[in-house]
């Protein structure tokens, strides 16, 4: 099956620093990728849609200047959390749709971000 990887799997950083999370589709091309955030015991909330070669589309309430998204190639999207604060601590998951059976989405393994 299709595989999506994420790096790093865990990151701990100090408040005020920036953190970059990579999402790669390993065996298929993804013109679109999605970034979700999940707080403990809660559901996945869509943050933004990453589009290859164009600007990302952000959901209401998500600060585009704080969560920078770059989709530079058909297999890589990056999410940079700028000037991270403790409230940004969360589980970040990316996904990429595949044109099969209703555009099933394949999820990365997630990145657990802890901001001290």
Partner 1 sequence: AQKITQTQPGMFVQEKEAVTLDCTYDTSDQSYGLFWYKQPSSGEMIFLIYQGSYDEQNATEGRYSLNFQKARKSANLVISASQLGDSAMYFCAMRVFSSGSARQLTFGSGTQLTVLP
> Binder to partner 1 among 19, 24, 110, 115 (CB under 8 A)?
110
**Which CB atom, from 43 or from 54, has the smaller least distance to partner 1?**
43
Structure tokens at 63: 């600060």
**Which CB atom, from 53 or from 102, has the smaller least distance to partner 1?**
102
State yes or no: residue 114 binds partner 1 (CB under 8 A): no
CB-based contact 7:19 (threshold 8 Å)? no
Binding positions for partner 1, rule: CB under 8 A: 32, 34, 38, 42-46, 49, 57, 91, 93, 95, 97, 101-107, 109-110, 112
């Amino acid at each position: 099956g299709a595989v999506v990887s994420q790096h790093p799997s865990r990151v701990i950083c100090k408040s005020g620093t920036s953190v970059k999370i990579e999402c790669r589709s390993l065996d298929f091309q993804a013109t679109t990728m999605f970034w979700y955030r999940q707080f403990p015991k809660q559901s996945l909330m869509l943050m933004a849609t990453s589009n290859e070669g164009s600007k990302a589309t952000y959901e209401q309430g998500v600060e585009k200047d704080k969560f920078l998204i770059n989709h530079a190639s058909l297999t890589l999207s990056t999410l940079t959390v700028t000037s991270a604060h403790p409230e940004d601590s969360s589980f970040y998951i990316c996904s990429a749709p595949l044109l099969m059976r209703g555009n099933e989405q394949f999820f990365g393994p997630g990145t657990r971000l802890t901001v001290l």
